[in-house]
Amino acid sequence: MATDIKITEAEEFAARKYDYIIVGGGTAGLTVAARLAENPALTIGVLEAGGNGDGIDNIDIPGYSGRALGGPLDWHFETTPQPGLGGRKLPWNRGKVLGGSSALNYMTWNRASREDYDTFEELGNRGWGWDSLLPYFKKSENFHPPPPAFKDLHQTTYNEPSEFLGENGPINVSYTRDFSPAHAYWHATLNELGIPSNLAHISGNNVGVWTTICAVNAKDSTRSYAAHYLSSKPTNLYVLTHALAQQVILEKSDGPEQWTATGVRFTHGHRDFIASATREVVLSGGSVNSPQLLELSGIGNPKVLAAAGIPLKVDLPKVGENLQEHIMLPFVFEVDPTLPQQEDLLREEVAKMAYEQYKTDHSGPLSVLPCSMAYLPVSTLTSAEVVDDLFSKSKELTCFHPDHAPILSTRFEKGINLGQVEYVFDLGNWNPSFTPDPSLGKRFCSILQVLQYPFSRGSIHIPPNNPTASDSPIINPQYYSGPHGEIDLEIMYHGAKFAAEKIIKTKPMNEIVLGLAEPSGTDEKELREWIVRNTITDWHPTGTCAMGGRAGKEAGVVDERLRVYGVKGLRVVDASVLPLHVSAHLQATVYAVGEKAAEMIFEDAGV
């Protein structure tokens, strides 16, 4: 655990000379920091804007997942008003705590299909395909196999003996101790619709229906997250919390890279400090904060920097561009009133009993997480004619880089078997806009529908007029906007019809589901309007500091070694480097990015 990690004072931190400074103590940042600290000859510093979340129930207890969103451990970001969502703004929750968003998420542990990672190599980023990344996925993991009885009871299958799951990593991953009583209906219903159970969903193809693994320690049913990379308590790693990075310090140098990163200016307790790095500065602020800090440091699009009043040092127009995000629809259905609900935990007597059971034997409602999953191609959800039309429209788009466009378009070709839409099933009401009358005593279940390969492209930039790191950046995902956004809307519409007219009306699911609660119907006009009013984020932003591949800075911000173009000694290591989105929840992939980055840093330094 992270309990005894050395958290220093600001003066002490700034006085020390570091080989490497990592900005952001989140999922990727702590992975990199801990791995670099395995070399005792190096001195590593980590700057984290949040505090230490060790021992906080809202982080540790699986059944409390989501409670920390919007609280003091959250950055409280939000989007600009989105025309494609009827002018709504969406909250963009991100973890502001040691461990980052891995401390706040819903703990889903999965991977995309092989083809998703192989596209990174197809773009010219050598070493980023499935075969190259698999060792790094495994390096982060400590998989706990489930009891044998779980295989039939809860459909907990994986490759056994597994060549695809790690056994010695810092992040404990397992199937949950207990399962929702409705989970038993999920596999059977999808199977009835002709969708097979995927017996090896972690091994390079996630298409089908399956029970997900979670980032949970099977020994005590607690969240396992990035702060646990520090459990070895390295004496050469220094962490400063509540430290907000303001700027990467760049010094003029000779050669093709005219600037060198030599440190970081940060604030702590309303005071300014500078920390120096003799080898490299590594930005691990995530898809929001990493492009923000690059721009605050004078690296980015000249127009953005001029409007902000920041002198241009490195002309890099793709900083903050290429924003991609999974978008989600939360359907709500009325369900058999005898089934338990997560909402029951809001009742004092139920909450007390559940907490006592959890603390006694690590089981019960507080050990349960959403784990009923399915990833399906668009061809499963609608007619061949609709898919052909999407294919034709996607080939006509001109808003993508020429290297990206054919990859996005070919995902609609006949015979392609990729998880373009994800469904997650769970008891309870998961729609933040739906507030039923509690006096009616109705019970609900939800299906979350998530678009995996968005065509919508947005941006994240600093605001104009002399911004600082304390000013929230301008987050504009451009959901459903433009011709590319129209493709996203069309896929979500057909996916919605499948959820509301097929999944819920098929046995045995129809034995417990009484009817549609939100939306109220599936008339095309009504359903399309409901989609616009109810689409929300799935908290998986990527792409804002993407790997450029063979196109270089015309298409990205960093090279295949994650080095920022035009700057010596500066890398970005987090989800922002992914050039195209992947069909998976992101945390396992981000850990793999951090593991691979640490090894590359060692290789490039010759240490």
Q: Which residues are annotated as a binding site?
A: 97, 539-540
Per annotation, catalytic residue among 187, 201, 461, 585 = 585
Binding-site residue positions for FAD: 97, 539-540
326 is annotated as an active-site residue:
no
Beta strands in 327-404 (DSSP E): 327-335, 372-376
Biggest CA-to-CA distance, the chain: 73
Contact between 352 and 338 under an 8 Å Cβ cutoff? The reply is no
- Beta bridge partners of residue 18, listed in sequence order: 277
585 is annotated as an active-site residue:
yes
Q: Give CA–CA dist 305/555, Å, rounded.
A: 19
Of 536, 554, 556, the closest CA to residue 546 belongs to: 556
H or E element in which residue 216 lies: strand 216-217
Q: Structure tokens of 443?
A: 């019970």
**Which are the contacts of 96, defined by CB distance < 8 A and separation ≥ 6?**
49, 50, 73, 74, 75
DSSP 374: E
Q: Percent helix, strand, coil in the chain (nearest 5)?
A: 35, 25, 45
Pairing mode of beta strands 213-214, 237-240: unpaired
Q: Give CA–CA dist 278/267, Å, rounded.
A: 20
Pairing mode of beta strands 299-300, 314-315: parallel
Q: What do you get for the CA distance between the two ends of the chain, in Å?
A: 28
What is the identity of the amino acid at 181? Answer: P
Per annotation, catalytic residue among 201, 326, 404, 540 = 540
DSSP assignment of 270-331 equals TEEEEEEEEEEEEE--HHHHHHHHHHHTTEE-HHHHHHHT---SEE-TTTT-SBB--EEEEE
Residues known to be catalytic: 540, 585
